[in-house]
C-alpha cells in the first residue's frame, strides 16, 4: 500500500504499460463501452441508448451518470440464464444482484420484472428494493454490523435470508427473533483464508479483515453449534465472498474447495445439513483494455463444475447455489458524462509535460481512483478531433490533488473547455459511493434506451444540500 493516494501517481511520469497510443483518438474501444454506445465516423459524437451526449446533457446537464438500460438488463439476464443453465443438472443456482453496486427504485423495478433476487446490506438498501417491488422472498440481508433496527426491519418484512457475520451477531439475531416471534432463515458468512488478487481494501476473505466468521479459528463451527441450538433460527447454509474485481478463476475454485471441506467436517460433527451455498460476487470487469474478464456463461460453467466435483468428491449432497454479482451487472452498463473546464499543461521533471484536463465532477462522483488507484478510460464525446493524441490526466473540481478521475488517457491534444468527456464503466460503486465533498451536489442517474431518457435519480439541488442544515 502507498501512504498517500496520490503518491504513486506523482512518481510516474509516462503512460502505464497497458495504455497504447491510439491509432484513432476518436475511436471507441468497444469492449469497455455499453452495448448501445457508438460513434458514427462522420461526426464521432458519442451516442448511447439512441441519444447523443449533447441531447443527454441538454436534458439533465453534466456531470451525469448514464445507464444503458438494455445493457444493464442484458447483463443481469445473462448471469441469471447462465447460472440457471449451468446448475440445472445439479440443485440449481440463483443470481442475487448486489444492490450496493448501484440501486434506485427504478433499477429495483427492472430487477423485479426480470426475476432476479437481490442482496442488500443496510436498512436503506432494503427500503429501496422493497419500493421497487422486489418480493421479500427474493431478498438476502447482509452486513458486518447490522443494527437492531435493521434486524427488526429485515424480519418484519420477511426477507428470505439473513447472512450472519459474527458470533456476536447470532445472539442479537436470536434476541430480535425471540422478541418479535420471528423465525428467520440464516446463513453464516465464512472467512476462508483466500487471498484473491485484488486491491487490499476490496479483498474480503483473507484472515486479517472484518468480515465473516473465521473457519480457521473455529468460529464457523461454534456459529453452527449456536445457531443450531436456537429453536427460532433456521440454518440454511454457509456463505463466502472472497473479494471484488477478481479475474483469477482459481480463486473461485479454491473457494468452492474450502467450502466443501468445511461443509464435510461440519455436517459430520454436528449432524447438520446445508441445503444452500452462497458463493458471493466479485467477478471482475474490464475498466480498460488492460483487463480481460470472463463471460457469465464461462463463470457459471466453471462454478458448476467445481461445485459438482468438490461436493461429490466429499460424498456430500450438492447444495443449491447463490451468487451475488454487483459490479459485473452495473459497472459496464454505466458511463459518466462531464464537461471539460480548465485544461492545464504542467511541466514535470525530465522535460515531460502532463496535460491536466479538469472536469465538472471528480472524486465526489467517482472516488474509486483516489481510493483504490483504479484505472479508467475516457473519450472526447461531443465532437471529432483531428488533433494528435496527447497523454492526459482527467481531474475533478475538488480541493485535493488526489482528485483524479482518469490517471492516464490519450485524448486529442486540442481538448478544450466546453467539450463533453465520457468515462465508461462507472455504473458500479460510483454513484453508490458518491459524496457531497466540497458541498458539490450529486449528479443525476439517468437511463437511456431507444432514444428515450428516463431520470432515475434527479440531480441534487442547493435545497437538498441545505435540507439537513437546521440553521439554513
Among 28, 101, 161, 422, binds ligand LLP (CB under 6 A): 101
As annotated, the active-site residues are: 399
143 binds ligand LLP (CB under 6 A): no
- Measured from the CB atom, the residue of 45 and 126 that comes closer to ligand LLP is 126
Binding span for ligand LLP by CB under 6 A among 70-78, 84-92, 274-282, 409-417: 274-282
Report DSSP letters for 275-296, one per residue: -EEE----B---SSTT--PPPH
| Minimum gap (Å) between residue 280 Cβ and ligand LLP | 5
Considering only residues 367 through 386, tell me which ones interact with ligand LLP, judged by CB under 6 A: 368, 372
Between 247 and 356, CB nearer to ligand LLP: 247
Closest CB to ligand LLP among residues 33, 252? 252
Interface stretch with ligand LLP, choices 216-224, 238-246, 256-264, 412-420 (CB under 6 A): 238-246
Site for ligand LLP in 145-174 (CB under 6 A): none
The CA-based dihedral angle spanning residues 222, 226, 229, 233, taken in that order and rounded to the nearest 10 degrees: -130
C-alpha cell at 342: 480548465
Smallest distance, ligand LLP to C-beta of residue 463, A: 29
147 vs 229, beta carbon nearer ligand LLP: 147
Q: How far apart are CA 332 and CA 426, in angstroms?
A: 7
Q: Note whether 75 binds ligand LLP by CB under 6 A.
A: no
Q: How far apart are CA 10 and CA 4, in angstroms?
A: 10
Which residues in 426-455 contact ligand LLP (CB under 6 A)? 428-429, 433
Q: Shortest CA distance to 390 belongs to which of 441, 352, 340?
A: 352
Angle, in degrees to the nearest 10, between helices 167-180 and 148-157: 50
Q: Nearer Cβ to ligand LLP, position 311 or 429?
A: 429
| Grid coordinates given for 313 | 468428491
DSSP letter assigned to residue 244: S
Residue of closest CB approach to ligand LLP: 281
Helix (H, G, I), strand (E, B) or coil at 208: coil
Minimum distance of ligand LLP from residue 216's CB (angstroms): 19
Interface segment toward ligand LLP; rule CB under 6 A; list 10-18, 49-57, 58-66, 324-332: 324-332
Q: Are 341 and 417 in contact (CB under 8 A)?
A: yes
Contact between 94 and ligand LLP per CB under 6 A: no
Please choose, from the candidates 471, 472, 359, 367, the residue with its C-alpha nearest in 3D space to the C-alpha of residue 411: 359
Site mask for ligand LLP (CB under 6 A), range 182-221, x = bound? --------------------x-------------------
**DSSP codes, 305-333:** HHHHHHHHHTTPPPPEEEE--SHHHHGGG
Neighbour-count burial of 368, counting CB atoms closer than 10 A to its CB (0-12 exposed, 13-18 middle, 19+ buried):
buried
26, 36, 214, 244: residue in contact with ligand LLP (rule CB under 6 A)? 244
Closest-CA residue to 185 (of 148, 145, 136, 116): 136
> Residue 6 burial (CB < 10 Å; 0-12/13-18/19+)?
middle
Instruction: Say whether the peptide bond before residue 121 is cis (omega within 30 degrees of 0).
Output: no
| Interface segment toward ligand LLP; rule CB under 6 A; list 10-18, 98-106, 175-183, 254-262 | 98-106
- Reported as half-sphere exposure (CB side, CA atoms, 13 A), residue 82 has a value of 19
The binder of ligand LLP chosen from 71, 119, 160, 169 (CB under 6 A): 119
Closer residue to ligand LLP, CB minimum distance, 331 or 412: 331
Q: Which is nearer to ligand LLP, 325 or 389 (CB)?
A: 325
- Tell me how many residues contact ligand LLP (CB under 6 A): 23
* Chain positions contacting ligand LLP, by CB under 6 A: 98, 100-101, 119, 142, 202, 241, 244-245, 280-283, 324-328, 368, 372, 428-429, 433
Amino acid at each position: 500500500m502507498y501512504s498517500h493516494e496520490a503518491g504513486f501517481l506523482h512518481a510516474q511520469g509516462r503512460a502505464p504499460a497497458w495504455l497504447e497510443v491510439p491509432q484513432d483518438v476518436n475511436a471507441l474501444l468497444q469492449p469497455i463501452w455499453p452495448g448501445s454506445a457508438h460513434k458514427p465516423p462522420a461526426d464521432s459524437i458519442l451516442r448511447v441508448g439512441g441519444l447523443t451526449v449533447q441531447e443527454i446533457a441538454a436534458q439533465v446537464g453534466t456531470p451525469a451518470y448514464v445507464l444503458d438500460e438494455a445493457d444493464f438488463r442484458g447483463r443481469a439476464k445473462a448471469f441469471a440464464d447462465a447460472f440457471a443453465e449451468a446448475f440445472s443438472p445439479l440443485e440449481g443456482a440463483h443470481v442475487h444482484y448486489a444492490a450496493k453496486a448501484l440501486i434506485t427504485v427504478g433499477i429495483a423495478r427492472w430487477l423485479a420484472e426480470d426475476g432476479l433476487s437481490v442482496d442488500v446490506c443496510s436498512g436503506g438498501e432494503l427500503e429501496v428494493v422493497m419500493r421497487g417491488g422486489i418480493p421479500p422472498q427474493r431478498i438476502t440481508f447482509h452486513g458486518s454490523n447490522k443494527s437492531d433496527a435493521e434486524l427488526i426491519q429485515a424480519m418484519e418484512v420477511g426477507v428470505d435470508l439473513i447472512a450472519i457475520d459474527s458470533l456476536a451477531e447470532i445472539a442479537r439475531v436470536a434476541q430480535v427473533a425471540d422478541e418479535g416471534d420471528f423465525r428467520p432463515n440464516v446463513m453464516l458468512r465464512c472467512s476462508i483464508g483466500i487471498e484473491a488478487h485484488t486491491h487490499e481494501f476490496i479483498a474480503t476473505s483473507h484472515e486479517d479483515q472484518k468480515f465473516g466468521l473465521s473457519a480457521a479459528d473455529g468460529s464457523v463451527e461454534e456459529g453452527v453449534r449456536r445457531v443450531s441450538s436456537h429453536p427460532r433460527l433456521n440454518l440454511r447454509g454457509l456463505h463466502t465472498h472472497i473479494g471484488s474485481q477478481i479475474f483469477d478463476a482459481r480463486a473461485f475454485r479454491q473457494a468452492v474447495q474450502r467450502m466443501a471441506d468445511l461443509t464435510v467436517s461440519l455436517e459430520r460433527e454436528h449432524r447438520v445439513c446445508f441445503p444452500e451455498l452462497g458463493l458471493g460476487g466479485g467477478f471482475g470487469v474490464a475498466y480498460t483494455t488492460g483487463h480481460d474478464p470472463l463471460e457469465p456463461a464461462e463463470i457459471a460453467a466453471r462454478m458448476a463444475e467445481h461445485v459438482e466435483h468438490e461436493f461429490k468428491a466429499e460424498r456430500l449432497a450438492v447444495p443449491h447455489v447463490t451468487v451475488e454479482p454487483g459490479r459485473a451487472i452495473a459497472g459496464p452498463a454505466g458511463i459518466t458524462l462531464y464537461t471539460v473546464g480548465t485544461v492545464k499543461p504542467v511541466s514535470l521533471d525530465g522535460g515531460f509535460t502532463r496535460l491536466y484536463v479538469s472536469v465538472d465532477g471528480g472524486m465526489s462522483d467517482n472516488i474509486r481512483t483516489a481510493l483504490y488507484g483504479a484505472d479508467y478510460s475516457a473519450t472526447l464525446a461531443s465532437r471529432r478531433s483531428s488533433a494528435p493524441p496527447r497523454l492526459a490526466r482527467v481531474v475533478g473540481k475538488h480541493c485535493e490533488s488526489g482528485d483524479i478521475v482518469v490517471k492516464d488517457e490519450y485524448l486529442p491534444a486540442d481538448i478544450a473547455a466546453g467539450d463533453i468527456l465520457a468515462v465508461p464503466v462507472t455504473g458500479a460503486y460510483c454513484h453508490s459511493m458518491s459524496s457531497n465533498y466540497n458541498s458539490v451536489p450529486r449528479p443525476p442517474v439517468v437511463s437511456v434506451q431507444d432514444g428515450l431518457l428516463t431520470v432515475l435519480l434527479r440531480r441534487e439541488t442547493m435545497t437538498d444540500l441545505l435540507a439537513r442544515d437546521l440553521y439554513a
